Amino acid sequence: MLSAGELRAHARSIFLFAIGLVVLTMVIVAAAAHQFADLGWPQAFVLGAAVGATDPIVATSVLERLGAPRRISTILEGESLVNDGTAFVAYKIAVGAVGTATFSPPGAVGQFVLVSVGGAAVGFAAGWFSARIRKAFDDARIEITVSLLTPFAAYIPAVQLGLSGVLAAVAAGLYVGARSMWIFSAETRLR
């Protein structure tokens, strides 16, 4: 389980891998698909985006068995929180490019930033609102219900706005998780 402090301490590496590595993988797969499978660039980028996200579970378990430093596992686990959102945003942009006659790389980068940052902003707002509701009540049942609804409260508005719902849910979870010791009552933590 990652702590908020560990995430902050390794944020630069986590985001470099979660965004940079996913985009790099997507570009390499797209180039190979374009060259060897004779796919058009938009279709090749759809394929690249579909396989761009990595699954760090196996790598993390191998690292633990090998006795690798905790820092590496922390970065891999943190990266896994963001990489799916990155891949979904890239996939959405790539699928949109298939249906249009023109594709603008600067436009795609701008859309990527807007959808990603906007989704995270909606998530932080939902997390903030969720934390305020929880602090207002001292009933474990209400706190647990709000806890279960928070990801949906982040995801649904973000998707309705055309932003990344996955990154919104992750941002809400990170916001609430970082404040859980002050938000949740002792009874709620026990339940």
* One domain, residues 145 and 83: no
Domain that holds residue 32: 1-103
Amino acid identity, position 57: I
Does residue 124 contact residue 175 with C-beta atoms inside 8 Å? yes
Q: Which contiguous run of DSSP H or E holds residue 10?
A: none
Q: Quick one: average pLDDT of 160-186?
A: 86
Do 119 and 92 lie in one domain? The reply is no
Q: How far apart are CA 87 and CA 158, in angstroms?
A: 16
Residue 3, pLDDT score: 67
Domain boundary among 74, 103, 132: 103
- The reply to whether 63 and 29 lie within a common domain is yes
The whole-model pTM stands at: 0.78
For residues 87 and 22, is the Cβ–Cβ distance under 8 A? yes
Residue 1 has pLDDT above 60, yes or no: no
- pLDDT computed for residue 20 by the predictor: 86
Report the C-alpha gap between 92 and 89 in whole angstroms: 5
Residues 6+ apart with CB under 8 A from 190: none
- The answer to whether residues 154 and 123 touch, using CB atoms and an 8 Å cutoff, is yes
